[in-house]
Amino acid sequence: MNAPDPRETFRGEAQDLLEKLEEALLDLGETPDEHDLIDTAFRALHTLKGSGSMFGFERLAAFTHHVETAFDKVRKGEIAPSRDLITVTLAAQDCMRRLIESPDQDAGDEGEILARLQTVVAVAPGAKPAAAALEEVPAEDGTATYRIRFRLGPQALLTGNDPVRLIEELRALGESTVVAIDDEVPSFETLDPTVCRVRWDVILTTSAPRSAIDDVFLFVLDDMELDVVRVEADEQPRRLGEILVERGDAAPETIAEALGRQHPLGRLLVESGKTSENQVLSALAEQNHVRKEAEIAKATAKGQDTIKVTAERLDGLMDRVGELVIAQARLKQLSGQIDDIALKAVAEEIERLVSELRDTTMSIRLVPIGSLFARFRRMVHDLARDLGKEVRLTTEGEETELDKTVIERLADPMVHLIRNAIDHGVEGPEKRAQAGKPAEGHLHLSARHSGAEVLISIRDDGKGLDSARIRARAEENGLIAPGARLSDADLFQYIFAPGFSTAAEVTSVSGRGVGMDVVKRTIESLRGAIDITSTPGRGAEVTLRLPLTLAIIDGLLVRVGRGRYVIPLSAVEECVELSADDDTRSRGRNFLNIRGELVPFLRLREMFNAIDPPDPYQKVVVVSTGERRVGLVVDQVIGDHQTVIKSLSKLHADVNSFSGATILGDGSVALILDVGHLVAAGQTFDQTRRAS
* Positions marked active-site: 46, 68, 420
Phi, psi (deg, nearest 5) at residue 175? -75, 130
> In 3-state terms, what secondary structure has residue 536?
coil
Between the CA of residue 579 and those of 557, 558, 636, what are the distances in Å? 20, 17, 13
Sheet of strand 563-568: strand arrangement = 636-644, 552-560, 563-568, 669-673, 658-663
Amino acid letter, residue 596 = G
Using CA atoms, how far apart are residues 303 and 287, in angstroms rounded to an integer?
Answer: 25
> In 3-state terms, what secondary structure has residue 671?
strand
Using CA atoms, how far apart are residues 277 and 281, in angstroms rounded to an integer?
Answer: 6
Using CA atoms, how far apart are residues 173 and 157, in angstroms rounded to an integer?
Answer: 24
Between the CA of residue 62 and those of 8, 52, 66, 359, 484, what are the distances in Å? 20, 9, 7, 48, 65
> In 3-state terms, what secondary structure has residue 622?
strand
In 3D, which of 572, 573, 569 has the Cα closest to residue 643?
569
Residue 137: which residues within 8 A CB-CB, separation 6 or more?
Answer: 144
C-beta of residue 332 within 8 angstroms of C-beta of residue 365: no
What string of H, E and C letters represents the secondary structure of 422-455? Answer: HHHHCCCHHHHHHCCCCCEEEEEEEEEEECCEEE
Phi, psi (deg, nearest 5) at residue 482? -55, 130
Phi, psi (deg, nearest 5) at residue 603? -90, 105
Count of Cβ atoms closer than 10 Å to residue 267 Cβ: 11
Using CA atoms, how far apart are residues 514 and 189, in angstroms rounded to an integer?
Answer: 70
Residues in a beta bridge with 568: 555
